[in-house]
A = this chain, B = another copy of it.
């Protein structure tokens, strides 16, 4: 896993990925107490950064392998990313999704042309279902984060931030990244190491599902005690990946954990002041910057990812209620 793989992914993604802007946010600066810029990956194709990694992985497959089809398991954002990337490559896609995934994510995954297989996340193993389907149909598994070509694709966001920050004269900043298994955080950290050494990737997670934050503090991989119960469905993973963790240990952190209530409030601020739709898991980095100033000390400049915007209307309405 190295910077050359990220650069190669950027070349494959050129013309297919959206270069999302880097937006300053004067009305958020005052709340955060420092300068804040936003990287709205909710505006990426399929509504999250996951399209980058999915397209990178699909485009790296040999054509005869890709033609047989791909399979992924995901609560939604990776699912949609793989579904659209597969459609763009003319390859069939099967997505294994928990039956309690947000309805919007299931509907959109189908809308991108993928076959969706639902499972019960309390009684069934998505790995078993995926392995069986892969074996019987000759499908290639696209893992959500612990896969070099996926990490390389996510790292292209880091290349963009490095370039955009340089154009704005930002040489030193914390870059807060919504973190599940660590694909985006590790890929981005590798891009910064090569292109913008004054930028530091810092993972943000939901409280109770802060496996990466705790693992980085402990110096070894720790698991989350549970897998359900956060509204931040997009970034709840059992533990950091075997590939992503050593990269994060070398280049990223410390992590920051926020509450579900803070994530909802951050969504409301994104609505009010940025006109962006963030999903709960996509708003944890913004919540960290707005509500945890102690985690940033005297850092003057912070760049915040909004990693996704695939949220059902009822959850979004709950976020808007925090404005009353």
Interfacial residues, chain A to chain B (CB-CB below 8 A): 18-21, 23, 26-27, 40, 42-43, 45, 47, 84, 104, 108, 111, 268, 271-278, 309-310, 313, 316-317, 320-321, 323-324
Report the separation of the CA atoms of residues A21 and B39 in the bound assembly, to the nearest whole angstrom: 13
Report chain B residues within 8 Å CB of A274: 43
Q: Which residues of B contact A317 (CB under 8 A)?
A: 317, 320
- The A contact surface, by secondary structure, is helix
For A276, what are the chain B residues with a Cβ–Cβ distance below 8 Å?
43, 275-277
Copies per assembly: 2
Contact partner, A275, options B19, B21, B42, B323, Cβ 8 Å: B42
A23-B43, A26-B84, A276-B276 given; 9 more Cβ-contact pairs under 8 Å: A18-B21, A20-B21, A26-B45, A42-B275, A104-B272, A268-B313, A275-B277, A313-B321, A316-B320
Whole-angstrom CA separation of A321 from B274 in the bound complex = 22
Q: How far is the CA of A324 from the CA of B20 in the complex (A)?
A: 30
Chain B residue nearest to A322 in the complex (CB): B313
Chain B residues with Cβ under 8 A from A273's Cβ? 47
CA distance in complex: A111, B25 (Å): 13
Asked if A111 and B27 sit within 8 Å, CB to CB, the answer is yes
Roughly how many angstroms separate A123 CA and B47 CA in the complex, as a whole number? 46
